[in-house]
Structure 1
Amino acid sequence: MTRLFHISDLHFGLEDPLALAWLVDCVAREKPAGVIVTGDLTMRARAREFAAATRWISDLGVPVSIGVGNHDLPYFNPLERAFDPYRRYRRLEQAVGNPLTVPGLAIVPLKTTARAQWRFNWSKGHVAPAELAHCLAHIDALPRGTRVLVACHHPLVEAGTHGQALTRHGEQALTELARRGVMAVLSGHVHDAFDLIHPTPEGPVRMIGAGTLSLRTRSTPPSFNDLTLSGADIAVTVRNLEAVPTPAMQIEDIPEDALPPSQPGEPIAPVALG
């Protein structure tokens, strides 16, 4: 049995100090095998925000798996965003230097951010063919029988939450991940937790979303996912300071035909981050 904490959307720069201190205390007392962070470590990708995130993550004292979110790309520096958008994030990743490894389990990243898109809102998800190919190659190279958790920032399809991911090529990605029998796809971005089974032509895929530990709450208070892995099963408890039970914290799925339609491609315009 393996226990992991899944957290997301820390948004240093607009972080919730009480929620972050609570998470640190939970890690210190309960000693999970590690922590998975599914992006948006900062609010505006400022150097001081990355520095604060680096200090906080480094002080957790357990192995950590980190992913990039749309807020971790430069907002005020268009040249850096165009030519080296992940520079500050890479420095944070190198500084933490305590990767999460669990025998028989692989946490495989799938990048869903983009420096620019052919639509107005660049904060939404995008699975580039090269990024999906890289993720699938990683999975295909694993020893037979390895359990796989895929970690990305944006939900690959809509999950009925107040916030939307509108991830392009997400359905295709889920189909390929279903073909490979991944345990679950972990994500953040929408600031509300969910735990859903999504059907694909290759079979169902479990999608698990974490809430936020920032002040930017939506439908639910700050929270994180407490994951217990036993064999091929994952038990999820949504932990929060207000002691709201897990079923009330997790957003229920809604029928696909009730979702708003995706917008067609639009010319590139100034970035709007969610």
Structure 2
Amino acid sequence: MTLLLQISDTHFGTERPQVVAALLRLADALAPDLAVFSGDITQRARKRQFAAARTFVDALGATPVLVVPGNHDIPLFNPLARLFYPYANHQRAFGADLEPAFESPELLVLGVNTTRAYRHKDGEVSMQQVKRVAARLEAASAAQLRVVVTHQPVAVTRTQDEKNLLHGRERAVQRWARAGADLILGGHIHLPYVLPLHDTFAGLARRMWAVQAGTALSSRTRGTIDNSVNVIRHDESGAGDSARRTTVERWDYSEASEAFELIARHDLALGVAQPAVAVTTPG
């Protein structure tokens, strides 16, 4: 069993200390094989905010991390920095690679930088990025869970969120499906959900799922949804798509217990068979 912890929209600078502590306890208990940060690591891309984010990542200990930037990780109020060195603080904290990858016998996780200095909030994926990711996906093994990480969502559940959709998503989703992608992880709108992309985009070559995370640590929560993270469990036993089993769990912070608690579980069917999903709510 392989375990992936998706942490999104931490917005360091607006983090809640008690939630930071609770998430570190959860990560310690789960011991994930990888922690994925799907953008908006900071609130305003300031050095001290990235330093706080780096301290948090270091507190995860030996857990490998994959970090992609979000639109909040580019300076907003410093036009000179935004124009000439928009990722300087991000790269100082997390390294030069803005599109990192992680690979193990069970996992292939590919980061995509969907931010653009010339856009305020919107994200974009270029044809070059689509092709690069597709080539890596096509080289994956049959046993690997194949995951793409963007910041902005490729699909939404509410009309009012359509303005936040990733530009270039149609060609990206179609091409990545043909290349064998299983999941596309995202954040940006602080709304957790799992959506079958094979029901959203016509003619997809295989089942593929959008897995969106809420805000993990920030006070900038949405509506009645508290801080939230996703835990993805992948069972790669057996051979071929039909033997791979993946579960996405939503864990929300509870004010009462001051801990993250399991809220919902989505059992995903992968591969090229007819789409199906079972959703259960604990308790």
The question of a shared fold, defined as TM-score above 0.5 by the shorter chain, is answered with: yes
Structure-to-structure mapping, 1:122-141, within 5 angstroms: 122-141=120-139
Q: Given that residues 125 and 156 in structure 1 are in contact (C-alpha distance below 8 angstroms), is that contact kept between their aligned partners in structure 2?
A: no
Q: How far, CA to CA, are the matches of 1:205 and 1:12 in structure 2?
A: 31
For residue 228 of structure 2, the aligned residue among 176, 199, 223 is 223
The one-letter code of the counterpart of 2:60 is L
1:246 maps to which residue?
A: 264
Per the normalisation by structure 1, the TM-score is 0.81
Equivalent-residue separation in structure 1 for 2:14 and 2:124 (angstroms): 25
The letter for the 2-side match of 1:208 is: V
Q: Quote the Cα distance in structure 1 between the aligned partners of 2:132 and 2:101.
A: 19
On the 8 A contact 1:211/1:222 being kept in 2, the answer is yes
1:108 is matched with 110
Identify the residue that residue 188 of structure 2 maps to in structure 1.
189
The equivalent of 1:25 in structure 2 is: 25
Q: Percent identity?
A: 32
What SS is found at the alignment partner of 2:66? strand
One-letter code aligned to 2:249 = T
Q: Deviations over 1:96-118 (max 9, x none)?
A: 9x98543231101122111114x
User: Higher RCO, 1 or 2 (CA under 8 Å, sep at least 6)?
Assistant: 1
Give the Å deviation of 1:94: 2.4
More strand per residue: 1 or 2?
2
Rate the CA distance shift 1:222–1:161 in 2: closer, same or farther, 3 A. Answer: farther
What's the TM-score, normalizing by structure 2?
0.78
Give the superposition deviation at 1:37: 0.8
Root mean square deviation, CA, Å: 2.4
In structure 1, how many angstroms separate the alpha carbons of the residues matched to 2:211 and 2:142?
A: 24
What one-letter code is carried by the residue in structure 2 that aligns with 1:58? D
What SS is found at the alignment partner of 2:95?
helix
Q: Give me the whole-angstrom Cα distance separating, in 2, the residues matched to 1:3 and 1:30.
A: 8
Is structure 2 residue 180 aligned with structure 1 residue 176?
Answer: no
User: Does the CA-based 8 Å contact 1:64-1:99 persist in structure 2?
Assistant: no
Structure 1 residues 163, 58: CA separation in 2 closer, same or farther (over 3 Å shift)? farther
Aligned residues between the structures:
243
